[in-house]
Amino acid sequence: MAVDMKMPILIVDDYRTMLRIIRNLLTKLGFSDIDEATDGTDALTKLRSRYYGLIISDWNMQPMTGYELLKNVREDEMLKKTPFVMVTAESKTENVIAARQAGVNNYIIKPFSGEVLKAKLKTVLGDF
Amino acid sequence: MSPAFHIAGVKRALDEQNAAVQEMEAAVNSIMDAVERMLSLDLNVEGSALKVVDCCSEIIEVCAFQDITGQRISQTIETLGVVDRALDALAGCVATAEVPDGTSLLNGPALPGQGLMQGAADDLFAFGRKA
């Protein structure tokens, strides 16, 4: 099934620069409906207020980390099937395993290129 | 402040700062390379607009250094805070100084050569999926 390039995507990061980078990369890939949140709490509020087809989140944020956001999303009946990609500088084995066990759909280590983002999104969403 | 904290905390802070300086230098060089490539383009030649777009995309990607170096510097600030409180304790200003617990999953960016590369994370991720 073709990927809906107009589906709303929520990007979550406490660094404005990174939000801009991911927004630009997604726009270049053809996605047009991109929303932003600056931590897990902000993201959960937005996720419960409208539909999002994909979440792309950093790990290291306060007060709610991306890992806690992921666990909250997977425990929420309405949100649990939303694809979730972690984009983070946390690059230890235990982080990847913990995220995988919590139900993340893919894991991108910062810094990353547009090509890596595209490849991982294809893995999660299908070809586009 | 225990010797173990000195090694794990202060040494790491020094390494983080060195890594941040190197990453900032590499990022600035990459940005300047891309800008110089744009400046050398003959805009009357067909396809040059696409090359400008490619250079701009490269600059945007490289700007991710601000996130990585920001996290490194934040960790150093945290360590300096612990050192400051420990020095206060030594001076008798406070009774104890807390040393952060190192078991958290919040480790921040790995130092060069210490973290997983994307390929290794992919392998681990694929293994986890099969398990």
Residue A44's CATH number: 3.40.50.2300
pLDDT of the residue at B108:
81
Evaluate whether residue A31 is within a structural domain.
Answer: yes
Q: Is residue B96 over pLDDT 90?
A: no
Categorize the per-residue pLDDT at B127 as very low, low, confident or very high, splitting at 50, 70 and 90: confident
Contact A60 B118 (CB under 8 A): no
Q: Where are the alpha helices (DSSP H) in chain A?
A: 16-29, 40-47, 66-75, 93-102, 114-125
Closest of A97, A57, A110 to residue A79, by C-alpha: A57
Evaluate whether residue A94 is within a structural domain.
Answer: yes
Evaluate whether residue A83 is within a structural domain.
Answer: yes
Tell me the two tokens of residue A16: 């404005």
Residues of A in contact with B65 (CB under 8 A): 111
Q: Is the distance from CB of A127 to CB of A120 less than 8 angstroms?
A: no
Q: Is residue A47 over pLDDT 90?
A: yes
Rounded Cα distance, A19 and B64, in Å: 10
Residues of B in contact with A67 (CB under 8 A): 105
How does pLDDT run across B26-80, given as a tens digit for each residue? 998 899 899 989 989 999 999 999 999 999 999 999 999 999 999 999 989 988 8
Instruction: Tell me the pTM.
Output: 0.78
- Residue A35, domain extent: 9-112
Q: Is residue B102 over pLDDT 60?
A: no
Closest of B63, B62, B60, B80 to residue B17, by C-alpha: B80
- Closest-CA distance, A56 to chain B, in angstroms, reads 15
| Complex ipTM | 0.71
Q: Of all residues in chain A, what percent are helix, strand and coil, respectively (each to 5)? A: 40, 15, 40
- Best probe of the A interface among B55, B118, B124, by most A CBs < 10 A, is B118
Rounded Cα distance, A49 and A40, in Å: 14
- Best probe of the A interface among B22, B24, B59, B61, by most A CBs < 10 A, is B61
Closest of A10, A41, A13 to residue A26, by C-alpha: A10
Q: Is the distance from CB of A83 to CB of A37 less than 8 angstroms?
A: no
Evaluate whether residue A21 is within a structural domain.
Answer: yes
Categorize the per-residue pLDDT at B20 as very low, low, confident or very high, splitting at 50, 70 and 90: very high
Evaluate whether residue A1 is within a structural domain.
Answer: no
Evaluate whether residue A127 is within a structural domain.
Answer: no
Evaluate whether residue A4 is within a structural domain.
Answer: no
Total domain count, chain A: 1
Evaluate whether residue A103 is within a structural domain.
Answer: yes
- Closest-CA distance, A41 to chain B, in angstroms, reads 17
